[in-house]
Amino acid sequence: MGFTYKKLGVYAFLILSLIGLILTFIKIHTQKTNAYLFNSVVWAVYGTVLACSFINWGGIITSQNMKRNDFAINYHLISISFSEKYLLKYAKERQNTQLRKEVLDKVREEKARTFLSKILFYETVQE
């Protein structure tokens, strides 16, 4: 499989490790306390999680994997969240009516949920 959540986790870990090393260097160089380091690292993790939550990772993964010859449609339909817009685009390009029907059924099912259970992403998917 090409681009996956595992790779994204590795990149996020690498970024946080780099931030931790930089903050440790600053702590040692400027003779800050351990509380400073702990506080800074916690804020860095919080900021990273917050920043990453605004990105549609499922859409990015699906759009990148659509370019591959061995694109696994069922894997993306079932396992990758929020990839429906790209799957509809893929179905239109390939004229795959079965995939289009399956994706639209999933979107309609999500749109039919009660207000407190809805995921607003599905309200933006055009049929």
pLDDT tens digits for range 35-80: 999 999 999 999 988 988 888 888 888 888 888 888 888 888 888 8
Burial track 6-23 (b if 16+ CB lie within 10 A, e otherwise): eeeeeeeeeeeeebeeeb
Q: How confident is the model at residue 18 (pLDDT cuts 50, 70, 90)?
A: very high
**Mean pLDDT for the stretch of residues 1-23:** 82
**Per-residue pLDDT at 7 exceeds 70:** yes
What is the C-alpha to C-alpha distance for residues 126 and 84, in angstroms, rounded to an integer? 10
Give the residue extent of every domain in the chain. 5-52, 58-124
Sequence-distant (≥ 6) Cβ neighbours of residue 29 within 8 angstroms: none
pLDDT (0 to 100) of residue 3: 62
What is the C-alpha to C-alpha distance for residues 7 and 14, in angstroms, rounded to an integer? 11
